[in-house]
Chains A and B, each alone.
Chain A
Amino acid sequence: MKHVLKLISLLVVISALWIGLLQASVIPQSHTWLLPIYFIVSLGCYGLLMVGVGLMRFPTCPQEALLLQKDIAEAKDFLKQKGVDVGSD
C-alpha cells in the first residue's frame, strides 16, 4: 500500500471518531466542532517543539575537523614519499 494511502486511512478513522463524537454528544457540541482545529494546532506545536529540541541537541563534532587535518597531513606525507602528486587544489 502506498504510504499516502496509509495516512489517508488514518485520517478517515480520526474523522469517523470525530463524527461519532458529534452524534453521541458526549462532549458539548460547541467543543466538538473545534476539535479538528485543536488537533491541527497541536500537531503544529509538536512539530515546532521537535524542531526546537532537535536544534538544541544537534550533535556537533568540532574535534573531528582537527582530526581530519591530522589525517590529511599524514596522508600527504605518505603519498609524497611514494611520488603521488598531492599539490594543493
Chain B
Amino acid sequence: MFVTDIRKEFYDVVVNQRVALFVSPDIDALCACKVLQALFHCDQVQYTLVPVAGWQDLGTAFMEHKEQYQYFVLINCGANVDLLETLQPEEDSVFFICDTHRPVDVVNVYNDTQIKLLIKQDDDLGVPSYDDIFRDDEEDEEGDGDDSGNESDGSAEPSGKRRRYDEDALERRIERQRARREWEARRREILFDYEQYEFHGTSAALVMFELAWVMSKDTKDMLWWSVIGVTDQWVHDKIPHMKYVTDIATLQRHVSRHNHRNEDEENSLSIDCMRITFEYDLRLVLYQHWSLYESICNSCYTSCSFKLWSINGQKKLQEFLADMGLPLKQVRQKFNSMDMSIKENLREVIEESANKFSMKDIRVQTFAVNFGFKNRFLASDVVHAAAALLENVEKDEMPTDNFIKALDCLSRSNLERLHLGIDLAKKKLKAIQQTVASCICTNLILSQGPFLYCHLLEGTPDVKLFSKPLALTLLCKYLLKFSCVCVFCFIRSFFGRAFEKAAESTSSRTLHDHFDTSVIELKMEDRGKFLDALITLLS
C-alpha cells in the first residue's frame, strides 16, 4: 500500500528497530541511501546496508538476513514485481519500498500489511482499481456450492421439483461463469495496458530528502545528494525533460531556503563550507574538468548535432569555434587554464552561437557545489564520475567493491575518489564516442522493422565497458540520437515485457536479472530466434 504520511508510517516505525537496507546499483539509489544513512546516524537507528545487483542478489541477501531483521528497506528495487511471491517472507516481515521503477506491481499496491510503498501518489501512476483486478472468489464458490448443495438436497425431493431446481441452478451457473469469463478478459486487458510500458517516477533521493525536510533534519549535504539523484535520472534519460524541470524547481526552493539562512548573518560563510548554487549551465559533459574541445566532442548533444563522425561535422565544429572567436589553442587547453577573458562570458557566447547552429538547448538548469577554493562541481559531473566508478571494469573487482567506492565518492571528504571517477568517466565517454562513430561508419546499425539493432563484436575495443547496464543505456541513447530516429518515446519503454514474452515463446536462455527490465543477458546461440520472435511481437 502507499504510505500517506511518510514520517509516521515509515520513519517512526523503524526508528526504534533494526533495519536491513537493500540498495540497487544506480546513482539515484546511492544518493537516497546516503540521505537515509545520515538520518539513521542522527537517530542512532541500527542498520545493515547490503548492495544488491539484481534479483538473484536480492533473493540471496534476503535469505541471509530474514532471520535477524523484521524491517527491510528496498531502494530502487522491488516495486515492479510481486515481492511476496519472489521472496516468500514470513508473516511479520515488513518491506518499505522506495523505488522509481513503474508500473508498480498491483499486488504490491493492494497488500495492506507487509508492503509499504514510499512513493508519492501524485505521480501519474494510473493504478487500476481494486475491484477490477481482484474479486472475491468466495462468492463464486458459494454459488457453486449452493447448486451442488441444492442438487444433493434435491435428490431427496420428488423428481418434478428437482428438475426445475436443476434447470434454474444450471442457468444461474452458466450465467455466473459467463460473467466471470468476461470479468477475467477485462482484467487481462486492464493489466496488459497497465504493465505494458515501463518508466520511472520521482527520484528516490528526492523522496528521502523530503522525509528529512518534514522532520527538519535536512542538511546541505542531503540536499546535494538529492540534486545528484534527480540529475542522474535526467542524465540517463529516465525521466522526460518536463519532469526534470519540475523537480529542479522543487529543489531550487530548498536551495534558496538553505542559502537564505546564511545570508542573514553579518559574517559571511567560510570558504570551506559547502555552497550550492543554481546554474543555467552548459550541457557539455565534464567541461570544467576537461578541455572545452574534448567536452564538445564527447558530449552526446553536441556531437549529434554536429555529426562529428563525418568530415563535414568536423568542419562545422571548426566553424562553430571560429564563430565564437575562440582560438583553437585556448579551447584545447584544460578549462581551468583558459584565459579569464574567454571564461567570463563563455556561457552566453556559446548559447548565441549554438542557436545559429540549431542547438537550441545547449543550456540546462542545474546546480553546482562549491567548497574550498578549487573544488567546484556540477551535479552532472558527479553523476558521471559516480557512474563510472560504479561500473568500473578496469580492475577485476567485485561489483560490491565498486558500489562501496561509488558510495564513498559522494562524500565531501573523498575528493581523490571523485577525481578518479571523473577520469574514468572521461575514458568511458571517449569509448562511447568512438564506438558510436565506428558503428555508424561501418554501418553496423540495422533496421529490424520496429526497432534498430546493433551488434557489437567481441573484438571491438572497450567492449567490456558495455557489459554494464548504465554504460549500455548511454550507448543506446547515443546511437538512437545519432540515427536521428525517434521510433518511440523511450521514456516509456515496452522492451521489458517484450523481452520476457519473446524469451518465453522461444525458450531462449535468458537472464532477467537486472532491476531495469530493459536490460537482459542472452546466450549467443539463441540470439537469432530471440530476435525473430521480438520482431514478430513488436510488429
A and B together in one complex: no
